[in-house]
Amino acid sequence: MDNRLIYLDNNATTPTDPRVVDAMIPYFHQLHGNAASRNHPFGWAAEEAVDNARNQIADLISVDPREIIFTSGATESDNLALKGVYEMYSRKGNHIITLKTEHKAVLDSCKRIEKMGGEITYLDVNDKGLVNLEELEAAITDKTILVSIMFANNETGVIQPMKEIGDICAKKGVLFMSDATQAVGKIPVNPKELGIHLMAFTGHKMYGPKGVGVLFVNRKNPRVKVTAQIDGGGHERGMRSGTLNVPGIVGMGKACALAQAEMIDEAKRLSALRDKLETGLCQLEETYINGDVNNRMPHVTNISFKHVEGEGLMMTFNQNIGVSSGSACTSASLEPSYVLIALGLGDDLAHSSIRFSLGRFTTDEDIDLAIKQVSEGVTHMRDLSPIWEMYKEGVDLDAVQWSAH
């Protein structure tokens, strides 16, 4: 048996590209200055490195470098955008609209805003994971200040109709924010063209380091402002105080430059590998792909294996294959994925789902081995399952009265 490790959990985090690590190393030791130290060469070198990275990141998403605000990651960026807009625009209104399938960083920030007196509308999605545009437009009131909808879902890879959402927000005169963590660096993302005014993303989902993220904040038409959530020296145009993580920022800049050069070809390669994985695993009966297969990221698939408990299935192969059931932030919980429940999956299918997210270092051989081991795992689990046996005998499991004792 082949025991090498296979990493198919790139939506949780990506390995840092060695070229990114090489770019970062000098800023830990030789060029260790604080970018806010403006009166000596060490500080100047750090500031120049940060400015260069800001330009690289802005180039990737076609925005002005002054619209890039550095944070510790996408979670902080989401918090800053949501809470910062809520406080800044409180005179205009207190209503925010989002989706039930958003990342916890958005949902939990919205719950905090509710405690602060805000009103949040959590919209449903359809069985493909997509927002209903008519429902979105109908939900906007004269008190609505922000619509927050993620670009691509972290569990299913489903991409929302961003341009149409942006057009609705423009028509209604409300701000549009997006957590684009899973999209930036993997597919072309241009917030200006889509009508996005605030956009969160992070380094460690695009082969950069952990601990550095970005919030794009639109400067013109409209000029967007957010109230700082971390107070201190007034760094980052007064929106986010704190000594800048120079090595991390250099790494994120390099990661963005690499993504800009390579992501189109890489997306083609990964979508072919992803399709191969799906074709192999869908040879198993009662296997379902979750989410809209026509509007999704090229590197992600979320598959349910009916009557196989996902966590148990992972135990059969996860000594050497890294995948996830549910999203990384909640993978310690044994609740079924709230994203899949929102798509209308029953507990049985939601519990039996595995997310496979491929990446830059995934090979053809990795996919072959994953198909083999996952297929063997599913077959093994079903061989042990009395429920699978009943299903095979034609028993209508929905009609079975299960005893409580």
Residue 331 has pLDDT above 60, yes or no: no
What is the C-alpha separation between 195 and 177, in angstroms, rounded?
9
- Residue 351 CB burial class (10 angstroms; 0-12, 13-18, ≥19): buried
What percentage of the chain exceeds 90 in pLDDT?
83
Residue 179 — very low, low, confident or very high, per pLDDT cuts 50/70/90? Answer: very high
Residue 147 has pLDDT above 90, yes or no: yes
- Please pick, among 110, 169, 282, 329, the residue that the annotation labels catalytic: 329
Give the pLDDT of residue 333.
Answer: 56
Q: How many CB atoms lie within 10 A of CB 69?
A: 25
Query: What pairs with residue 6 in β-bridges?
Result: 321
Q: Strands 353-357 and 300-305, how do they pair?
A: antiparallel
What is the C-alpha separation between 126 and 45, in angstroms, rounded?
51
- Sorted by sequence, the CB contacts under 8 Å of residue 132 that are 6+ apart come out as 123, 124, 125, 126
Give the pLDDT of residue 327.
Answer: 42
What percentage of the chain exceeds 70 in pLDDT?
95
Q: What is the CATH number of domain 6-13+263-392?
A: 3.90.1150.10
Residue 233 — very low, low, confident or very high, per pLDDT cuts 50/70/90? Answer: confident
Give the pLDDT of residue 404.
Answer: 59
Residue pair 178/198 in contact by the 8 Å Cβ criterion: yes
Residue range(s) of every CATH 3.90.1150.10 domain in the chain: 6-13+263-392
What is the C-alpha separation between 251 and 313, in angstroms, rounded?
36
Give the pLDDT of residue 328.
Answer: 45
Among 323-327, 360-364, 389-393, the least confident range: 323-327
Q: Give yes or no: 110 in active site.
A: no
Query: For 242-289, how does the pLDDT look when each residue is reduced to its tens digit (9 = 90+)?
Result: 999 999 999 999 999 999 999 999 999 999 999 999 999 999 999 999
Q: What is the mean pLDDT of residues 381-389?
A: 88
Residue pair 337/347 in contact by the 8 Å Cβ criterion: no
Residue 104 has pLDDT above 60, yes or no: yes
Return the ∠ at Cα 280 (arms to 275 and 285), rounded to 5°.
Answer: 120
Q: How many residues does the chain have?
A: 405
Burial 185-223 (b: 16+ CB within 10 A, else e): bbbebebbebbbbbbbbbbbbbbbbbbbbbbbbbeeeee
Residue 155 — very low, low, confident or very high, per pLDDT cuts 50/70/90? Answer: very high
Residue pair 97/147 in contact by the 8 Å Cβ criterion: yes
> What is the dihedral sign for C-alpha 150, 151, 155, 158?
positive
What is the C-alpha separation between 305 and 313, in angstroms, rounded?
9
Query: For 56-100, how does the pLDDT look when each residue is reduced to its tens digit (9 = 90+)?
Result: 999 999 999 999 999 999 999 999 999 999 999 999 999 999 999
What is the C-alpha separation between 383 and 367, in angstroms, rounded?
24
Residue 299 — very low, low, confident or very high, per pLDDT cuts 50/70/90? Answer: very high
Write down the architecture of domain 18-258 according to CATH. Answer: 3-Layer(aba) Sandwich (3.40)
The amino acid occupying position 233 is: G
Give 159's DSSP letter. B
E strand segments, 180-298: 198-202, 213-217, 287-289
Predicted model pTM: 0.94
